[in-house]
């Protein structure tokens, strides 16, 4: 039987190698061996995804590889999650409402950002794609999220992000809004008065943490 | 020499010292729609309205060549089975469904492809444009490229994963979209296009690795170029630094790139391979959101970097101010010696 350290390494390696079956098996061994499933998520799966993020940043991996790594991670999560006892409280780093803006059905980038935030310790409320402007605000109100994340793939739909930012700030200036997507540049962020920006999924967790430090939670 | 002669000489002839200004991507601008009196959705579907908007680019924006075949990149996918989302005056058609998501093997190139979707309207649009411009202006056709089309039909995420796990199936799907692409390209040439722009944003390096581009896109583009009855320009969004050389190797007459690509390096690579460069004034940051001064400055920068055709880096956003777009021509006129201006 493999030791806990070996299994954690196996979880990491199989996620990086997008070996879905290998990740599932390692996760099952964690459970059958009586090891801590939360430890396996954080120091096996999430650690693997961190490596994937680095490889993505270094342009060794591209979106297809990251998508397959995400599938492996999800396969491991499906095995481990039912065995993680609920802490009874909210121990996440923060809450994020995320979605692709109205008129835009592209969601690969948004899904990767969601995954990175999830793995990075945030609670993510995903509204999907083609999300009406008001729905971001309604979901923020429902969940008490500190951050709204908006994605746009098209220059034509990008202007909608500005409208959501205006709506959010009108409701509560303490809500942090971060934006991203192919047409979004630092200049757009400035013009739209967004609080945060991630050029790619690999930098989104750091940016979300920065926003959590910079903004008071909108409770 | 007419503008068309000068344009074509620069694209495929011996070259001139004249840098044409225009757009090799979509320019469905609301201000142009208002000027010519035809707004979306009519300007997307009705040949008279479509032709009027094509010509408005020349009449009001100073473009020295004009575009046919709509103001979005969905027409080929639509003709092959995708349904489209409803356009608004400031929102082009977009892909709504991926009909081959669970049956990639069933993907097929329809025999009557150019009788489907908006192709009959495009045919009439070409005719109307030609009646108006005669041989004075170059006219181009455009659609989404083979990988983007396959991604629309199968689903982008699914196809992206398959590029690694099920390459043979992706190749088979690409064989179909390449065949469709060749039909669309030659449809345009038969109807009076002077060149064809293939826009393939989904194969850009924001999504696809250069190794996959080499394996899947390069042979596809080579085949299309070999079968096309006229010159091809390839547009790729985002940072194309890692694939510029391969884009040129495909045999295209020109490449169209965004501001995220290193223009000086791209020009050097392209010119060494006999390929022309279109670009690369930022569609979003500068033309859409910038000031006229910024548009002029960025246009001059592109001219100084050696661009062959001064153009936006990508499709022009619908709500882009016309005043900003006009700065491209102003900058070109300022840059070129008076004797070479049209």
pLDDT digits (tens, 9 = 90+) for B268-285: 999 999 999 999 999 988
Task: Compare CB distances from A65 to B88, B164, B289 and report the shortest one's residue.
Answer: B164
Q: SS3 breakdown of chain B: % helix, strand, coil, rounded to 5?
A: 50, 10, 35
Q: How many residues does chain B have?
A: 342
DSSP string, B300-315: HHHHHTT-SEEEESSP
B87–chain A Cβ distance below 8 A for any pair = no
- Residue of chain A whose alpha carbon sits nearest to that of B213: A62
Q: How far apart are CA A54 and CA A153, in angstroms?
A: 23
Task: Compare CB distances from B289 to A59, A108, A188 and report the shortest one's residue.
Answer: A188
Complete edge-to-edge strand list for the sheet that includes strand A196-197: A123-126, A95-100, A147-151, A176-180, A196-197
Give the A-side interface with B, CB within 8 Å: 18, 59, 61-65, 67-68, 71, 103-106, 108, 111, 130, 154-159, 182-185, 187-188, 191
Say if the Cβ atoms of A64 and B163 lie within 8 Å. yes
Q: Which residues of A touch B287 (CB under 8 A)?
A: none
Q: How far apart are CA B113 and CA B130, in angstroms?
A: 23
Task: Compare CB distances from A105 to B88, B95, B209 and report the shortest one's residue.
Answer: B95
Q: What percent of chain B clears pLDDT 90, i.e. is strictly above it? A: 90
Given the structure tokens 């899947």, which residue do they identify? B216
CA nearest B257: which of B218, B312, B194?
B312
pLDDT at position A216 is: 52
Per residue in B117-153, pLDDT (tens digit) is 999 999 999 999 999 999 999 999 999 999 999 999 9
pLDDT at position A68 is: 94
Task: Compare CB distances from B289 to A67, A130, A187 and report the shortest one's residue.
Answer: A187
Pairing of strands B276-281, A176-180: unpaired
Q: Report, as an integer, the average pLDDT of B154-172.
A: 94
Given the structure tokens 């707004």, which residue do they identify? B39
Q: Report, as an integer, the average pLDDT of B56-72.
A: 97
The contacts of residue A130 (CB under 8 Å, 6+ apart) are A100, A101, A102, A103, A104, A105, B85
- Our CA-based measurement puts residue A140 at a distance from the nearest CA of chain B, in whole angstroms, of 26
Q: Which residues of A touch B157 (CB under 8 A)?
A: 67, 108, 111
pLDDT at position A218 is: 42
Task: Tell me if residue A99 falls in helix, strand or coil.
Answer: strand
Say if the Cβ atoms of B208 and A67 lie within 8 Å. no
**Which is more confident, A90 or B73?**
B73
B274–chain A Cβ distance below 8 A for any pair = no
B214–chain A Cβ distance below 8 A for any pair = no
ipTM higher than the 0.90 cut: no
Q: What is the pLDDT along chain A (219 residues), one digit of tens a residue?
A: 789 999 999 999 999 999 999 999 999 999 999 999 988 988 899 889 889 988 988 999 998 998 999 999 999 999 998 898 765 456 789 999 999 998 787 788 888 888 888 888 899 999 998 899 999 999 999 999 999 999 998 777 888 899 999 999 999 999 999 999 888 988 899 989 999 998 877 788 899 999 998 875 444
DSSP string, B189-248: HHTT-SEEEEE-GGGSTTTS-HHHIIIIIHHHHHHHHHH-SS-EEEEE-S--TTTHHHHH
pLDDT at position B86 is: 87
Task: Compare CB distances from B161 to A61, A67, A187 and report the shortest one's residue.
Answer: A67
Say if the Cβ atoms of B160 and A155 lie within 8 Å. no
Q: What percent of chain B clears pLDDT 70, i.e. is strictly above it? A: 99
Q: How many residues does chain A have?
A: 219
Q: Which residues of A touch B217 (CB under 8 A)?
A: none
Confidence of residue B339 (pLDDT cuts 50, 70, 90): low
pLDDT at position B204 is: 92
pLDDT at position B338 is: 67
């Amino acid at each position: 039987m493999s030791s806990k350290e070996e299994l954690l390494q196996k979880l990491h390696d199989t996620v990086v190698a997008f070996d879905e079956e290998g990740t599932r098996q390692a996760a099952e061994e964690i459970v059958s061996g009586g090891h801590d499933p939360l430890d396996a998520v954080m120091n096996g799966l999430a650690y693997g995804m961190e490596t994937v993020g680095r490889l993505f940043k270094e342009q060794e991996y591209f979106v297809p590889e990251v998508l397959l790594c995400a599938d492996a991670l999800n396969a491991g999560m499906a095995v481990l999650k039912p065995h993680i006892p609920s802490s009874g409280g909210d121990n996440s780093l923060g809450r994020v409402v995320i979605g692709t803006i109205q008129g835009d059905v592209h969601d690969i980038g948004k899904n990767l950002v969601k995954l990175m935030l999830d793995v990075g310790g945030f609670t993510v409320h995903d509204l999907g794609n083609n999300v009406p402007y008001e729905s971001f605000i309604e979901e923020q109100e429902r969940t008490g999220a500190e951050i709204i994340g908006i994605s746009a793939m098209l220059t034509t739909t990008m202007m909608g992000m500005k409208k959501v930012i205006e709506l959010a700030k009108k409701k509560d200036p303490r809500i942090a809004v971060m934006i991203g997507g192919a047409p979004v540049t630092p200049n757009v962020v400035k013009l739209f008065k967004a609080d945060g920006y991630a050029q790619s999924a690999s930098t989104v967790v750091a940016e979300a943490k920065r926003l959590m430090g910079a903004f008071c939670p909108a409770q | 020499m007419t503008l068309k002669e000068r344009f074509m000489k620069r694209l495929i002839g011996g070259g001139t010292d004249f840098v044409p200004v225009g757009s090799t991507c979509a320019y469905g601008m609301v201000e142009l729609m208002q000027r010519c009196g035809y707004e979306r959705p009519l300007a997307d579907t009705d040949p008279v309205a479509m032709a009027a908007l094509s010509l408005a680019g020349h009449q009001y924006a100073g473009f020295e060549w004009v575009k046919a075949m709509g103001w979005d990149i969905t027409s080929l996918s639509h003709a092959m089975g995708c349904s489209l989302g409803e356009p608004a005056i400031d929102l082009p058609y977009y892909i709504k469904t991926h009909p081959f998501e669970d049956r990639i093997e069933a993907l097929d190139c329809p025999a009557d492809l150019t009788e489907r979707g908006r192709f009959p309207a495009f045919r009439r649009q070409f005719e109307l444009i030609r009646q108006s411009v005669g041989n004075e202006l170059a006219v181009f056709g455009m659609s989404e490229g083979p990988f983007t089309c396959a991604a629309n039909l199968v689903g982008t995420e699914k196809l992206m994963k398959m590029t690694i796990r099920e390459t043979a199936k992706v190749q088979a799907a690409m064989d179909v979209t390449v065949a469709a692409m060749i039909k669309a390209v030659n449809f345009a040439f038969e109807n009076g296009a002077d060149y064809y722009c293939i826009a393939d944003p989904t194969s850009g390096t924001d999504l696809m690795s250069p190794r996959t581009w080499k394996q899947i896109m390069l042979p596809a583009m080579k085949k299309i170029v070999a079968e096309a009855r006229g010159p091809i320009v390839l547009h790729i969004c985002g940072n194309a630094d890692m694939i510029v050389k391969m884009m040129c190797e495909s045999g295209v007459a020109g490449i169209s790139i965004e501001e995220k690509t290193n223009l000086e390096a791209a020009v050097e690579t392209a010119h060494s391979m006999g390929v022309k460069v279109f670009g690369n004034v930022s569609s979003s940051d500068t033309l859409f959101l910038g000031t006229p001064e910024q548009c002029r400055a960025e246009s001059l920068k592109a001219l100084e970097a050696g661009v062959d055709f001064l153009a936006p880096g990508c499709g022009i956003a619908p709500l882009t101010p016309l005043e900003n777009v006009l700065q491209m021509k102003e900058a070109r006129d300022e840059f070129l010696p008076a004797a070479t201006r049209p």
